[in-house]
């Protein structure tokens, strides 16, 4: 059965098609700059990567071209071979704790929650509508980044603000990256050979979050109402004293929109280093002796250590720590610094094993009290699995 995993942004469409249940990737790619001058797309098939420049007026055009590529590359002969299309949606609120089949009520709820994910939810709806129009007979599903975190207890997901903010405005912790945390937690349990585990999963990329996972269920996560909570990220500040916001707004006469931009796009590694939001650029700056890059990295690593330690206590122990996503999978130095900061918990890094990029492997010594693993994430595969199950 052929299943298509789709991740739509406001001006992009990423896709990956699988033969299920074999989980074989048939084709993948991304359409970029949709609705913007200079649009193009790339596809990868049979190990070959092809880039084509083409006018992409909207997401429907992108889907039409995608279908043409599937046919011309003989991935499918007929449209009806595509039995399911799974769409990634960032914010499902408290409405959704699992993947669901799309109907008008589902779309209405995604739209209602757009205020909590203004860049992502509207784009997802555009993608769903385009897919429905171009591939009308496929079962359309939605996989929510927030769903995995819906197992948190009320005392964990609520904020200590007026309770009416929760009942009237849905202010609570929702988390994000749930599909990634779920995937690596499942894979870690396969490696450990059991489900009754206490895991700390670290999705460390330009956006970053850490989750505490007990017996396969999320009990806490670092992101909050929005993705700008918890860890220091590429350009997001993460946890700060809330009173900083009105204080700086009064001092600088910033508008709410300007403050939102500052906290989400001008803070984090970028704000401290003054160089870049990209961890690779920060590492390069450190090698060149840039003190602010070094400071940014120390702060970045310290916050990761803080959350791992917090969740270690909350879980009353830990069976494994997992590193995933762009930095987690590829930055040996960041992983080493984090593990060195966890020596008090008995973590002992293995320098040789840790010196890898993007490879599933154990990166601690045999006498480390907590094993640490790199597990490359695969959100597209999780989307395909859930969609296949529903189809």
Examine the residue annotation and report whether 145 is marked as an active-site residue of this protein. Answer: yes
Residue 313: which region, alpha, beta or left (left: phi > 0; alpha: psi -120 to 50)?
alpha
Q: Is the pLDDT of residue 219 over 80?
A: yes
Residues linked to residue 161 through DSSP beta bridges, in sequence order: none
Q: Are 76 and 82 in contact (CB under 8 A)?
A: yes
Distances (CA, A) of 89 to 92, 114, 347: 7, 10, 36
Predicted pLDDT of residue 305: 98
Share of the chain above pLDDT 70, in %: 99
Give percent helix, percent strand, percent coil of the chain, each to the nearest 5.
45, 20, 35
Res. 9: pLDDT tops 80: no
**pLDDT band with cut points at 50, 70 and 90 for residue 10:** low
Instruction: Give 152-190 pLDDT, tens digit per residue.
Output: 999 999 999 999 999 999 999 999 899 999 999 999 999
Nearest-angstrom CA–CA distance, 285 and 271:
14
Domain range list for the chain: 2-144, 193-374
Task: State the pLDDT at residue 311.
Answer: 98
Give CA–CA dist 360/111, Å, rounded. 37
3-state secondary structure 282-295: HHHHHHCCCHHHHH
Helix (H, G, I), strand (E, B) or coil at 300: helix
Torsion of CA 50, 51, 54, 55, to 10 degrees: 120
Distance of CA 116 to the CA centre of its chain: 16
Report whether CATH 3.40.50.300 matches the domain 193-374: no
Name every residue whose Cβ is closer than 8 Å to that of residue 14 and which is 6 or more positions away in sequence: 6, 7, 8, 29, 30, 31, 380
C-alpha 205: how far from its chain's center? Answer: 8
Choice among 112-116, 338-342, 360-364, 366-370 with the minimum mean pLDDT = 112-116
Tell me whether the CATH fold assigned to 2-144 matches the one assigned to 193-374. Answer: yes
Closest CA to 83 of 199, 168, 195, 5: 5
Q: Which of 80, 145, 281, 340 is flagged as catalytic? A: 145
pLDDT at 114: 86
Per-residue pLDDT reduced to its tens digit, 316-342: 999 999 999 989 999 999 999 999 999
Give 12's strand partners. 32
Is the predicted pLDDT of residue 253 greater than 90, yes or no?
yes
| Contact indicator for 274, 339 with CB cutoff of 8 Å | no
15 Cβ contact list (under 8 Å, min separation 6)? 4, 5, 6, 7, 27, 28, 29, 30, 66
Mean per-residue pLDDT for 102-109? Answer: 95
Query: Residue range 188-209: average pLDDT?
Result: 95
End-to-end CA distance of the chain: give it in Å, rounded: 10
CATH superfamily entry for domain 2-144: ATPase, nucleotide binding domain (3.30.420.40)
Share of the chain above pLDDT 90, in %: 76
């Amino acid at each position: 059965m052929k299943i298509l995993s789709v991740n739509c942004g406001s001006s992009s469409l990423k896709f990956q098609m699988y033969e299920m249940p074999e989980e074989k990737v048939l084709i993948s790619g991304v359409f970029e700059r949709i609705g913007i001058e200079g649009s193009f797309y790339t596809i990868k098939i049979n190990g070959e990567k092809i880039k084509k420049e083409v006018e992409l007026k909207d997401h429907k055009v992108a889907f039409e071209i995608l279908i043409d590529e599937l046919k011309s590359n003989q991935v499918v002969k007929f449209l009806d071979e595509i039995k399911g299309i799974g769409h990634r949606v960032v914010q499902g609120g408290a409405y959704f704790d699992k993947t669901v089949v799309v109907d008008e009520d589902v779309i209405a709820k995604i739209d209602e929650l757009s205020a909590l994910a203004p860049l992502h939810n509207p784009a997802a709806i555009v993608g769903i509508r385009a897919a429905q129009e171009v591939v009308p007979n496929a079962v359309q599903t939605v996989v929510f980044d927030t769903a995995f975190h819906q197992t948190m207890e009320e005392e964990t997901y609520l904020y200590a603000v007026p309770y009416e903010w929760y009942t009237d405005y849905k202010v609570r912790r929702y988390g994000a990256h749930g599909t990634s945390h779920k995937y690596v937690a499942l894979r870690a349990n396969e490696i450990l050979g059991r489900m009754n585990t206490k895991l700390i999963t670290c999705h460390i990329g330009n956006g970053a979050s850490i989750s505490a996972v007990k017996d396969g269920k999320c009990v806490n996560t670092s992101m909050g109402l929005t993705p700008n909570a918890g860890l220091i990220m590429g350009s997001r500040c993460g946890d700060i004293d809330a009173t900083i916001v009105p204080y700086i707004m009064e001092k600088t006469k910033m508008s709410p929109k300007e403050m939102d931009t500052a906290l989400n796009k001008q803070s984090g590694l970028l704000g401290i280093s003054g160089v870049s939001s990209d961890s690779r650029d920060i590492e390069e700056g450190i090698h060149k002796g840039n003190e602010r890059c070094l400071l940014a990295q120390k702060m970045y690593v310290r916050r990761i250590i803080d959350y791992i330690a917090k969740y270690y206590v909350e879980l009353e122990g830990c069976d494994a720590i997992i590193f995933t996503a762009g930095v987690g999978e590829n930055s040996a130095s960041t992983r080493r610094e984090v593990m060195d900061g966890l020596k008090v918990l008995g973590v002992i890094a293995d320098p040789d094993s840790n010196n890898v990029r993007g490879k599933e492997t154990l990166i601690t010594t045999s006498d480390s009290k907590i094993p640490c693993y790199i597990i490359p994430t695969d959100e597209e595969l999780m989307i395909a699995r859930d969609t296949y199950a529903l189809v």
